[in-house]
Amino acid sequence: MSFKAFQYIVFLLIFFSCNEKESFKDVRIISHGVSGLYNPKSFHIDNTKEAMHYVLKFEELEGIEIDVQHSLDGSLWMFHDEFLDDRTSELGRVCEKTDVALSQATYMDLNSTSISRLSSIDWSLNNGDKDVYLDLKNLNACISEAYTPGQFISILDEINGKEDVNVFPIINDTAFAHTIHNVGYKVFSDALSYGEAKERLSLFYHGVVVRNGILTSSEVSNLQINNKKVILLDMFSMSGVRDGLRKYPSAVLVEDFKSAIIERN
For residue 159, the enclosing domain spans 24-264
Percent of the chain at pLDDT exceeding 70: 92
Q: Is 14 inside any structural domain?
A: no
> What is the pTM for the complete model shown?
0.90
Note the pLDDT of residue 1: 55
Note the pLDDT of residue 113: 96
Please state whether beta strands 207-211 and 188-191 pair in parallel, antiparallel, or not at all (unpaired): parallel
Q: Is 12 inside any structural domain?
A: no
Q: Is 10 inside any structural domain?
A: no
Q: Is 36 inside any structural domain?
A: yes
Give the 3-state secondary structure of 124-172. Answer: HHCCCCEEEEEEECCCCCCCHHHCCHHHHHHHHHHHCCHHHEEEEEECC
Could you report the per-residue pLDDT of 91-125, keeping only the tens digit for each?
999 999 999 999 999 999 989 999 999 999 999 99
Q: Is 167 inside any structural domain?
A: yes
Q: Is 40 inside any structural domain?
A: yes
Number of structural domains found in the chain: 1
Q: Is 101 inside any structural domain?
A: yes
Q: Is 131 inside any structural domain?
A: yes
CATH number of the domain bearing residue 154: 3.20.20.190
